[in-house]
Amino acid sequence: MLIEREPRYCLPSFEVFEDKKFFPWPAGLNEGSPCDLLLINAPFRPEERDRDYIPNSPLGLGYILTVASAAGKNCGLIDGEGLGLTPEKVAQAANDIQPEYVGINLFSPIVKTTLELVAELRPRSSIILGGPHASICSEEVLARESAVPIVVVRGEGEVTVKEILEGRPVDKIEGISYRKGEKIIHNPGREFIKDLDSLPFVNRDFFEVDPYKRDGYVVSSVSTSRGCFYQCTFCAGPVLSGRMVRFRSMSNVIREIKELVESQYAVNYIRFTDDCFLLGKNRAKEFLNELEKEDLMGRFRWDALIRADTILGFSDEILKNLKKSGVEFLSMGIETSDPKRLEAIQKGITLEETERAVERCANYDIPVKGFFILGFPGETEEDMWWTVNFALNLRKQGMAMATFNELRPYPGTAIWFELLEEGWKPQELANYQYVSLSLPEDEKSVNQYLRERGKHFTGLRRSISAVPPQKLREILREAILAFGPSGIPFYEGRCS
């Protein structure tokens, strides 16, 4: 099927602040005393790449480092992903520092590359693994041989890592798994942090690429809540957060934003990283009231991921004021155009609701970016084109941007369990490859754009849908090109 293409292809690029260029010295680490904890944000790909991808700082790692340093520990971060470093470079820099503990985040689609990096790490004491894949697959991760002792942190890391660094006996630390001889021990889980306001604001000295500069913007990331009430069957969010949401108080959030806006870096763009922004009764009103109260209305631009039904719950007044507050765009998980599939994945949003939400945003001149997934179990080529066409129709109704991803069934999600029941083996569902979406004959700009997307693209080797992997990627490629980057900054895809 042939679809009309957007003619514009622009590549993003970002700059770091001069005084934030630390690598190979880890960001935030004090010279002159030994390193207690070095954290690594895993690089996505095995090869080096340019700084042409717009990063989001690893806020979770930032929180852990901020809490550990407040407890008197000397710590630092190597942002392998943000800086586009190779795993070899990261391992070498980490080993040169000789940290007591070295920790790294594990994500399922890049776990192979990351565990190869882990095998090269030589801290003085132990390696700490954390993040989504480590939390869900601790048994599998610890089953591997390792030259250095490994502690797996399941769930939130702030308190657990602090206790590890303070030398608490391992059998007394909640939320960790480790090896004892031939046995793998899973200590009882740790409760989620109830009061997020009790956490300090993330110390940005730990980030080389936050704030960063792009297109006249000075950009930082902020998280205002943790978790999600919903249970979309393809999403690991609820698996990690226990299907509940904890909110920071809005006054606490706005104080952090104010500090960033008034900092030496003069931040003027905030990327909210919440699973679902402004979820919950009155959250939007509080956001707007606090902005007004702190004289921040319109003083920075922002974007966030939001549900279509959240938008439908807003009054006209709220939408008007969100526009006034500086929203650059809102991202929405639309996923698919098949009503039955939408029900099966438990999105809890109908197509009609999505259309109304897009239209309401368009009425207030708020650009919407739709996220779509292709490759659900049983999905045919025709189904996929319906989704692409639905996206193109939404564009006519005002949707400004769209990104398309292929389904990645993450461990612990309902889709992952469904596939196991159908006879898939866990190893097959973890068998990812780096995918290139560009073709040799593409004109230069198109190729550049597709290569850019491809830098963060992985896919399973075997097809889950009714369409072979190669065909699925052809459709993805066409769908991505049909929209192209819109010229609006920060278009990169979601992590579905």
**Helix H segments across 307-461?**
308-313, 316-325, 339-344, 351-363, 381-396, 414-421, 444-454
Is residue 228 close enough to count as binding ligand SF4 by CB under 6 A?
yes
235 interacts with ligand B12 by CB under 6 A: yes
Choose the one of ligand B12, ligand SF4, none that binds residue 238, judging by a C-beta under 5 to 8 angstroms depending on kind: ligand SF4
Nearer to ligand B12, 163 or 275 (CB): 275
Q: Phi and psi (nearest 5°) for 176? A: -125, 155
Is 237 among the residues that bind ligand SF4 (CB under 6 A)? yes
For residues 13 and 52, the answer to whether their CB atoms sit within 8 Å is yes
Supply the minimum distance, in Å, between the C-beta of residue 331 and ligand SF4.
10
- What does the block give as tokens for 274? 């919440």
Q: How many CB atoms lie within 10 A of CB 297?
A: 15
Quick one: which segment of 23-31, 66-74, 187-195, 230-238 binds ligand SF4 (CB under 6 A)? 230-238
Q: How many residues bind ligand B12 (CB under 6 A)?
A: 45
| Cα 396 to Cα 410: distance, rounded to the nearest angstrom | 33
Positions 15 through 74 that interact with ligand B12 (CB under 6 A): 39, 41-42, 44, 56, 58-61, 63-64
Min dist. Cβ of residue 390 to ligand SF4 (A) = 18
Q: Which is nearer to ligand B12, 207 or 314 (CB)?
A: 207
176 and 151 in contact (C-beta within 8 Å)? yes
Q: What does each C-alpha distance from 369 to 13, 287, 333, 383, 444 come to in angstroms?
A: 20, 21, 9, 21, 25
Residue from the set 403, 447, 458, 465 that interacts with ligand B12 by CB under 6 A:
458
Rounded distance between C-alpha atoms, residue 16 and residue 100, angstroms: 29
CB closer to ligand SF4, 91 vs 232 = 232
Question: How crowded is residue 193: how many other Cβ atoms within 10 Å of its Cβ?
Answer: 16
Pairing of strands 327-335, 217-222: unpaired
Alpha carbon distance 375, 489 (integer Å): 27
Candidates 66, 69, 105, 354: give the one binding ligand B12 (CB under 6 A).
105
Q: What are phi and psi of 271, to 5 degrees?
A: -100, 115
Q: For ligand B12, which is the closer residue by CB, 231 or 289?
A: 231
Supply the minimum distance, in Å, between the C-beta of residue 332 and ligand SF4. Answer: 10
The smaller minimum CB distance to ligand SF4, of residues 71 and 244, is found at 244
Stretch of residues binding ligand SF4 (CB under 6 A), selected from 12-20, 80-88, 164-172, 225-233: 225-233
How are the residues of the chain apportioned to helix, strand and coil, as percentages rounded to the nearest 5?
35, 15, 45
Q: How many CA atoms lie within 13 A of 371 on its CB side?
A: 20
Binding status of residue 275 toward ligand SF4 by CB under 6 A: yes
Residue 489 interacts with, from ligand SF4, ligand B12, none (CB under 5-8 Å by kind): none
Query: Which parts of 390-419 interact with ligand B12 (CB under 6 A)?
Result: 410-411
121 binds, among ligand SF4, ligand B12, none (CB under 5 to 8 A by kind): none
Residues in region 297-316 near ligand SF4 by CB under 6 A = 307
* Residue 461 DSSP one-character state: S
Residues whose CB is less than 8 angstroms from the CB of residue 484 and which lie 6 or more positions away in sequence, other chains included = 5, 6, 7, 8, 9, 449
Q: Choose between 307 and 360: whose C-beta lies nearer to ligand B12.
A: 307
Q: Shortest distance, CB of residue 307 to ligand B12, whole angstroms?
A: 13
| Residues whose CB falls within 8 Å of the CB of residue 142, separated by 6 or more in sequence, listed in order | 150, 152, 177, 178, 179, 184
Which does residue 333 bind out of ligand B12, ligand SF4, none, counting CB within 5 to 8 angstroms by kind? ligand SF4
* Helix, coil or strand: residue 490: coil
Which of ligand B12, ligand SF4, none sits in contact with 79, Cβ below 5 to 8 A by type?
A: none
Q: Which of 87, 109, 123, 469 binds ligand B12 (CB under 6 A)?
A: 109
161 lies in the binding site for ligand B12 (CB under 6 A): yes
Scanning 3-11, 54-62, 233-241, 485-493 for contacts with ligand SF4 by CB under 6 A, the matching segment is: 233-241
Identify the DSSP state of 27.
Answer: B
- CB of residue 18 to ligand B12, shortest distance in Å: 24
Q: The dihedral of CA 274, 288, 55, 193: what is its sign? A: negative
Which residues are at the interface with ligand B12 (CB under 6 A)?
A: 39, 41-42, 44, 56, 58-61, 63-64, 81, 103-105, 107-110, 128-133, 153, 156-158, 161, 223, 226, 235-237, 240-241, 273, 275, 410-411, 456, 458, 495-496
Which residues are at the interface with ligand SF4 (CB under 6 A)?
A: 228, 230-232, 235, 237-238, 275-276, 307, 333
